[in-house]
A and B are shown apart, each in its own frame.
Chain A
Amino acid sequence: MAEAHPVGFQWVMEAKRRGAKVFHVDPRFTRTSAVADAYLPIRAGTDIALLGGVVRYILDNELDFREYVLAYTNAATIVSERFSDTEDGDGFFSGFDPETGTYVQDSWQYEGNEDSSGSGHTAKERDSASGLEHESHGARVDGDTPRDETLQHPRCVYQILKRHFSRYTPEMVERVCGIPQDKFLELAQAWTANSGRDRTGMLIYSVGWTQHSVGVQYIRTGAIIQLLLGNMGRPGGGVMALRGHASIQGSTDIPTLFNLLPGYLPMPHHADHPTFDEWVDSIRHPGQKGFWGNAESFAASLLKAYWGDAATPENDYCYGYLPRLTGDHGTYQQVLNMIDGKIKGYFLLGQNPAVGSAHGRAQRLGMANLDWLVVRDLFMIESATFWQNGPEVATGEIVPEECRTEVFFLPAASHVEKEGTFTQTQRLLQWREKAVEPPGDARSELWFFYHLGRRLREKLAASSLPRDRALLDLTWDYPTHGPREEPSAESVLREINGYDVTTGRPLSSFAEARADGSTAIGCWIYTGVYADGVNQAARRKSRHEQDWVAAEWGWAWPANRRILYNRASADPDGNPWSERKRYVWWDAEKAEWTGYDVPDFEKTKPPSYRPPAGASGPEGIAGDDPFVMQGDGKGWLYAPSGVLDGPLPTHYEPVESPVRNPLYRQQANPTRKSYAHPVNSVNPSPPEEHSQVFPYVFTVSRLTEHHTAGGMSRTVRPLAELQPEMFVEVSPELAAEAGLAHLGWAHLISGRAVIEAKVLVTDRLTPLRVDGRVIHQVWVPYHFGFEGLVTGDSANDLFGITLDPNVLIQESKIGTCDVRSGRRPTGKALLDLVADYQRRAGITPGGHAPAVTTDQDVEGRDGS
């Protein structure tokens, strides 16, 4: 965190100053480790084993916050008797379909709900990254699920959890992660000792957890711990994602993502959502409890915002205009399709996939096979010059004279040259004022897309084709100002916020959303950001002039709420769990919820409220159910649906791993998304043969001095000079083994690429003893590319493409490689070297590792 989010880290230091103990778990000793109280080196890709060990520690020692767990989580809920665990399935839950490599989730459901699985067969959901919609939208859960408040029922979640994690012993943690047992125990003790009524603990993660083939389950494990310890919905608690880009949260909320529409409404699927009603019902699950019950209002209001007067209740608000998913249209599928010539054009908007995405060579080859490419950026980035300066030009794979791609480079406006909102990592929207005009041809994306849209509409104005109606009926009349006709960002924000269609009054809450076409809302979770016609995101009341929650600085979605599910900061009766951790509570006198934050609960619903039988929507949520978006109002220790690779997290080895999974015969996540494409490959891992060809583990991450693919830092002199060269960090032990010298050169070889880097031999890296073997890990920054003030080979070139099944995020935090001394070859010799490794490793183009490994050789392994 000190490396990648130093300013956020000030709060950790603040806590430390006040006596907090900071633990840092990382494959390498970083700036964070330097100031942490304890550093735990870990084998990359084994966090679930570590966290699972903590879960087991909590359960075995009954250190959970029992009152919280009983009342606010589904610990007591009874699960179907058809469910069987990985304990019994050697790494598989019940319901696995080897054909598709996905699960049928019926057997995971709560008892009595077996047939109302939110997802059923999940193959489709994996392709469209829509599994999680059911988690965030809440699975279909009946009002009354059988519970055992004593937590003794063998099929209650608590007992299932206990059984599931029973093999995650300290010994096993040491075996899998390479973390010594006493260090693990120190961590577990500190974490549990600092959680409860009077204390809370926070868990912070970043892409070190997401960029894995089991990434979602990493976070699930963290969430389970936090729920068990009563750290959710409370001040100083929570699971916090530290996101890496100024408005990456915003671009998820108002998604430039293929599978979502604004406000986490799903992009319709051609088979599942042929009609508006089917689409809406798939979100709200009629009869289900919780706030997604209002989904129709949000959906109708979005379409109303898009198509204005053309959208009427009669034509289902132009639902027919929406394009439909048929499967995986994610960025990696796109790239492979580009290579196959299926995609003609590509826009890059402040993004540099030639350096920043996994398998850089595939990215560049894909771009070299387009008809046209539009790059909008501040600087001439690698993704704009791949045809000229890319490594494939050096190897002869891309010949400029033979490369068809027509490239438009359009200069973009910087953050001070346009106004608008960023949504930062805690869901806080902050408006930026415009300081100066952009230079020359530089323009904001707002300008570009507004005028592009205008021009497209002009060109199609005479069209009578039905397919052009969606574009021609689109509301696209934003006021512009200035000689350059810059569209008004505030007017767009106003539309995002939503308004009453008849009066034009901005809405102040998504509770005002209507399904009758009387409201238009661009993104329902942002409703309120323009409440009262005031740009709430522009509020800048000094921190010195308000309390510590600082509710008048910017605006957080939803409803300017700073901590989600904060009803949980009070006990079931509505009183604070402790004076020290008071946050939101029930004021019996005024008969309303009150506190420092906006209560995440219906303001006047008393703690004693119990829903009438058959109630649905918000009405179905009891007065002591804080997790109001969930179908049962509970925090899910066990997820009966929504997570495609299991209701509980399970340690699987990374797709590329030098070791056999010590826990189960199943090696890697069986449901991971693989692409059998000739450009793609996976280095062999046990139990496959030849894994020793790539004996070392490499992991990548950021340096404080650089930003992602380097487009905003390798081009900036005061930053470039602070980390001027690509390097690889190796332990002294590996340096001895591979013959590497400090400040000498080394090259790293995977089945996809070879890159070179200067060597830093440092004590900050250590080998680990894993399952009796010594495992070496190396670390490389992924910031470098071939343009800018400082250049170097790109670490992401080493990766292949394998994705998490839930969210289609690639595993790019760990891979295997070989490390050799000296510089890499150039030209054709480079390709020969990679080919030689592929041959030795038995890698065939397009081949990938077997998904199921339980039938493979299990010698030298126990636990089966």
Chain B
Amino acid sequence: MSAHRPEVGDRFRRFRDRLAAPDPRRATPSGHDAATSGAPADATTGLTPRNGSGNGSGRQAGTVEPDSRRPRRRGGRRGGGEELRVPEATFTSYYGRPILKAPVWKWDIAAYLFTGGLAAGSSLLAAGGQLTGQPVLRRAGRVTALAAVSASAVFLIRDLGRPERFHHMLRVAKPTSPMSVGTWILTVFGPAAGVAAVAEAAGWLPRRGPLGLVGRALPPVGHAAGLVAAATAPALATYTGVLLADTAVPSWHEAYPELPVIFAGSALASGAAVGLLAAPPAQAGPARRMAVAGAALELFGAHRVETRLGLLSEPYRSGRPGRLLRAARLLTVAGAAGALLGRRSRAAGALAGAALLGASVATRFGIFYGGVASARDPRYTVVPQRERVNAARTGADPAAD
């Protein structure tokens, strides 16, 4: 990206911080809007706060849409009336209608984010187990990977408007389309994970006869397939970050540096969780370390998107996404702690694993719905862009103040 591109989020955060300083709790409901409506101009030009309609509209906005009214007025669409932590910025739009079309993806895409990550994480776990000779981890990883990648396929196809045309995904290979890239990753990963998992069935096959031959051939084939799956797994886990970020959805797009990190961490943690659940404490050492690493990445990334993006962090902190991400944080911390502290207890390990899986689910859904919320409210589209335009018009770089 070009160096001179203004950092919308940063600028807004600083602006907000400065704004919040004298009156962090927004004492008067009628004041906050006026302050915000004038503020962009202050921030960009240093002029005195605008008078006239600016103040007027501020008052009006305050009267028109007090926060307490929001839930009723907007129905349940925005996920409840939790108080916003960022004062509403004055912005304009066409009858307040969203400028963007919110993602039409349903919950199954959020679920896929989880299962895809789980598949990736668990196939890494399996490969680790495979290479370090820990069959419990290997088997659990491989089976989970197949189950997760199968579920992923179901979720992905289910979500299509025309499910019977799912194979059209294979018409093209477009590096510009994370979904196309993902398709091809899944095309490699899926069969590999499948073969690797099937190879686990070798032990159940009769020793003799044609099936015996298969049984003998399976382990090496599974070995190779497991490595192929593991090799593509990191891509599978992280491309979904790009999948969300490569959209016009404001809170997804601006979070593009973090999303792959969060998703990588979340995938690692969920894969590790499988190990924690499947393996006795004695064999779960790698899983514990994976869990901690994953949790660290996830927590770091999630913290960044919740704080770095200024206005665009807001959807991640409010409403349902906020609750989900807070739950994810708690579960992640609990899971990581459990993994570290519960070295001796199978139950503790399993609990930690469950917590991490739950955390991963919550993270994915939180990120998913946070983005959706940002697309539904024109404020998140207009305000950052308007700031950018105003900055360009005045020639000032507000980020440099």
A and B touch in the complex (CB under 8 A): no
Q: Which residues of B contact A (CB under 8 A)?
A: none
